Amino acid sequence: MSVASAIRERDASQLPGKRDENWRWTDLRGLIRETPPASAAVDPRDVGQGPFEHLADQSLVVANGGPDARISLGAGEAKTIALRFLSRGSGSHTARAEVEVAAGGRLTLLESYEGDEGGYVAHAGIDVSLGEGATLERIVLAADGAEGVCVSETEVRFGEGADFGQSVFLSGARRQRIETRLAHPGHGAKVRMDGVYLLAGKRHADLTTVVTHAGTDGVTMQMAKGVVRDQARGVFQGRIVVTEGADRTDARMEHHALILSDRAEVDAKPELEIYADDVSCSHGNTVGALDEDALFYARQRGIPEAEAKALLTEAFIGEVVDRIAHEGAREVVRLWAAAGLMV
């Protein structure tokens, strides 16, 4: 049972739903009664420029499910590559991408999901493999249309001493879910898993991560923040598993969200599953409103209320944006956030 097989076989009964624990807040089976027909083909040469293309050495476009993408960096090679998943119209499609970075390679992957106003159902499956000592910084900007359904599922495997950094930014859709599952080998490998969802209207976004530590001396740092208004709904599910024998694991997870209207909603489930004795692990989770005192002082200085709220929420999510190492991508994300906060 999966989104990909439901699309391929046009069988909506295979979609995950609220009875599936990991999907209970993003119920696709209850939402989609019939899988739409296959999306029309789109020529990737006719889609214009994406948000990150001006920053990349190379750009790959997957439009309405095709063609599949493959990225391969050799030992010691360094590149910045833009990977775009485009959805057009009201059909359904699924796509595959493979990313392989050999030992000592360095890849900055600028990934974007770009949808129009159609009622599409889209799925992307991504396999990532990092060799020993390789580095990957993955920045994901998901900008789907309000009526679209988009699910991205990524599996990451990496070698000893590798460094994986991820920053995901979501503006929501009818349903939007970015899921990352990572097999952590320990032995000096480092993981950073960050994310921001910034939602308005009736948009829904789901940020789900699972990190499984299977070796000693592994490090995982995770920070996710969200802002929801109107009737939007944000979902955060983060799970860190430390298996037996993965001693001296250092894992920390934080999720904080602001709710800016009475009808908006945030569902959060941060989890630690620890089966080793000698570890340092923690998680924190808060959901609340803007600081009324800070808002009052901003108003006292003559700042209009809407602008004051935008400034405070920009500062709130800025901590995550600042952790992006790639300067150009960080600026693109700042502009995306500024536009979202002024809605």
Kindly report, residue by residue over 185-243, the tens digit of the pLDDT.
Answer: 999 999 999 999 999 999 999 999 999 999 999 999 999 999 999 999 999 999 999 99
Mapped onto helix, strand or coil, the DSSP state of residue 331 is helix
Q: What pLDDT score was predicted for residue 295?
A: 85
Q: Is the pLDDT of residue 342 over 70?
A: no
Number of Cβ atoms within 10 Å of the Cβ of 18: 13
Q: What is the DSSP string of 158-201?
A: E-TT-EEEEEEEE--BSEEEEEEEEEE--TT-EEEEEEEEEE-T
| CA atoms of 51 and 115, how far apart (whole Å) | 13
Query: pTM for this one?
Result: 0.96
- pLDDT band for 151, please (50, 70, 90 cuts): very high
The amino acid sitting at 273 is E
Share of the chain above pLDDT 90, in %: 88
Interatomic CA distance for residues 141 and 326, integer angstroms: 14
pLDDT at 285: 96
The two beta strands, 250-259 and 121-130, are unpaired
Strands 175-184 and 204-213: parallel
What pLDDT was estimated at residue 228?
A: 97
Write out pLDDT tens, residues 250-298. 999 999 999 999 999 999 999 999 999 999 999 999 999 988 888 888 8
26: amino acid identity, one letter: T
